[in-house]
Amino acid sequence: MRKSKALLFEMGRSGRQGYSLPSCDVPEKPLDELLPQKMQRSEPPDMPELSEVEVIRHYTELSTRNFGVDTGFYPLGSCTMKYNPKVNEEVAALPGFACLHPCQPEETVQGALELYYNMEQRLKELTGMERFTMQPSAGAHGELTGLMVIQAYHRHRGDHKRNKVLIPVTAHGTNPATVTMAGYEVVQLPADERGNVDLEALKEAVDDTTSALMLTNPSTLGLFEEEITEMARVVHDKGGLLYYDGANLNAIMGYARPGDMGFDVVHLNIHKTLSTPHGGGGPGSGPVGVKERLIPFLPVPLVDKKGEQFYFDYDLPDSIGKVQSFYGNFGVVVKAYNYVCMMGAEGLKQVSTDAVLNSNYLASLLQKTYTIPYDRLRKHEFVVSAKPEKKKGAGAGDIAKALLDRGFHPPTVYFPLIVDEALMTEPNDTESKETLDAYAQAMEEIAKDIDKDAEKVAAGPHYTVVGRLDEVRAVRNPVLRWEKE
């Protein structure tokens, strides 16, 4: 039965409490003596008073109104929603990691520094890069850090006219937004008929104002850029650098490395490829790796080793500085490190093997019913175009809602933009054949339902805890907080 859930602010009662604190055991002074009255808050904030059991029941009920990887199949394209190993959560919560203060003396955090150091060695091998910073807190944050490093490199050489960054039309939205954040102009590159970046267009666009080319490989179409070596040569010949968006690294671990493809800067989304959970939106972690000539510009500090001692290296005079207050999302890196330790080289390669196998297999099944543009091998994901279904009355968004009714999280919808009615589907490595078969069957049933009664499909979802939500109303009449009537 559908119903809305009471807000915290509609619950509780004055006088209840959900906490217990020791009493203050130092001699207390009158408040006004410690803090002038005019600096004090005049009225308490209007917030609920709740007992602990109310708090727990509230959030437990909310959790039942949420869908995670642990609930079911989550083929959200370019998000690599793989299973998050439980043991990772346990090790990250160890007091020796979770209860470290960032300003502790180095000799008291040797284990944490060693972990950062070890992780860097592993990421270098995985990507073919020469140094990593763990400071960026997410993928987009890594992109910004990477572009700042590239900018510092050009500026350091006295090359100030490079004000453009090239981006393919298939790029994640974060790429162009990052380019603006870093003070650059975006030049968009079209795709050719095979789904690759149009090499001729690239050649025309590159010149001595090109700072970098940002690329995801495989692309958001799930296609490996077949001309990558030539693309790298074209950009490098004009003095530009290559930036690798690692959102889709899950496709190629052990098979190819961005460093070997000619990329100068790489960010990884370890909350995708390296199994850390996404937390309903974050925290993530976006380490950035670079080639030798860009090392001097990385954020400070780097982690290094002298003899048996690990230490923070702040001695990078040309460093861009800092992108986060401290050393990045350490707690997330701990989880990813544990994952890499458990997987090993063979395991990580198997991850990419199975991710690509699952993707090609599911595409083969769906191809019987749906249109999948760019008929060639896919890597970890593929994009269905629901254009024919849209003509019948139910498009990508409606198919997504129909999947909700069948217990699946839908693919990413309406992206990439070059595919009409896109359903970007990434089945990833932790799904079984039975799950993929069941999903394909559900998609087939939805196609039949559209043939039968497209209107009914377009009115879905029918069995979720709330019906289709009115997003237009939310924009036209924004209610962004609760307010007392």
154 alpha carbon, distance to own chain's centre = 28
358 binds other proteins (CB under 8 A): yes
The nearest distance, CB 148 to other proteins, in angstroms, is 5
345 binds other proteins (CB under 8 A): yes
Give the C-alpha separation, 451 to 393, whole Å.
9
Scanning residues 105 to 144, which ones bind other proteins (CB under 8 A)? 105, 108-112, 114-115, 122, 125-126, 137-141, 143-144
Scanning residues 31 to 60, which ones bind other proteins (CB under 8 A)? 31, 34-36, 38-42, 44-50, 52, 55-56, 58-60
Q: What are phi and psi of 76, to 5 degrees?
A: -70, 110
- Name residues whose C-beta falls within 8 Å of residue 102's C-beta, 6 or more positions apart in sequence: 325, 326, 327
159 binds other proteins (CB under 8 A): no
The nearest distance, CB 446 to other proteins, in angstroms, is 15
369 binds other proteins (CB under 8 A): no
| Residue from 351, 386, 396, 454 binding other proteins (CB under 8 A) | 351
| Residue from 303, 384, 400, 402 binding other proteins (CB under 8 A) | 400
The nearest distance, CB 293 to other proteins, in angstroms, is 19
- The end-to-end CA distance of the chain, in Å, is 27
3-state secondary structure of 268: strand
Token pair listed for 341: 């330790």
The nearest distance, CB 252 to other proteins, in angstroms, is 7
233 binds other proteins (CB under 8 A): no
| Residue from 294, 303, 332, 447 binding other proteins (CB under 8 A) | 332
How many residues sit in the footprint of other proteins (CB under 8 A)? 204
User: Could you tell me which stretch among 220-228, 289-297, 301-309, 387-395 binds other proteins (CB under 8 A)?
Assistant: 220-228
Q: Which is nearer to other proteins, 62 or 161 (CB)?
A: 62
Scanning residues 62 to 91, which ones bind other proteins (CB under 8 A)? 62-71, 74, 76, 79, 81-85, 87, 89-91
Give the C-alpha separation, 55 to 50, whole Å.
6
281 binds other proteins (CB under 8 A): yes
- Token pair 């992108």: residue: 323
94 binds other proteins (CB under 8 A): yes
Q: Which of 142, 137, 152, 147 is nearest to 167 (CA)?
A: 147
Give the C-alpha separation, 72 to 265, whole Å.
35
Residue 308: Cβ-neighbour burial (10 angstroms; 0-12, 13-18, 19+):
exposed
| Residue from 255, 293, 305, 441 binding other proteins (CB under 8 A) | 255
User: Could you tell me which stretch among 199-207, 349-357, 383-391, 446-454 binds other proteins (CB under 8 A)?
Assistant: 349-357
Q: What are phi and psi of 129, to 5 degrees?
A: -105, 175
181 binds other proteins (CB under 8 A): yes
Contact code string over 410-439 relative to other proteins, x by CB under 8 A: x-xx-x-------------xxxxx------
Residue 128: Cβ-neighbour burial (10 angstroms; 0-12, 13-18, 19+):
middle
- Name residues whose C-beta falls within 8 Å of residue 10's C-beta, 6 or more positions apart in sequence: none
| Residue from 131, 154, 271, 390 binding other proteins (CB under 8 A) | 271
Q: Which of 179, 225, 212, 180 is nearest to 294 (CA)?
A: 212
305 binds other proteins (CB under 8 A): no
* Contact assessment for residue 300 and residue 144, using Cβ atoms and an 8 Å cutoff: no
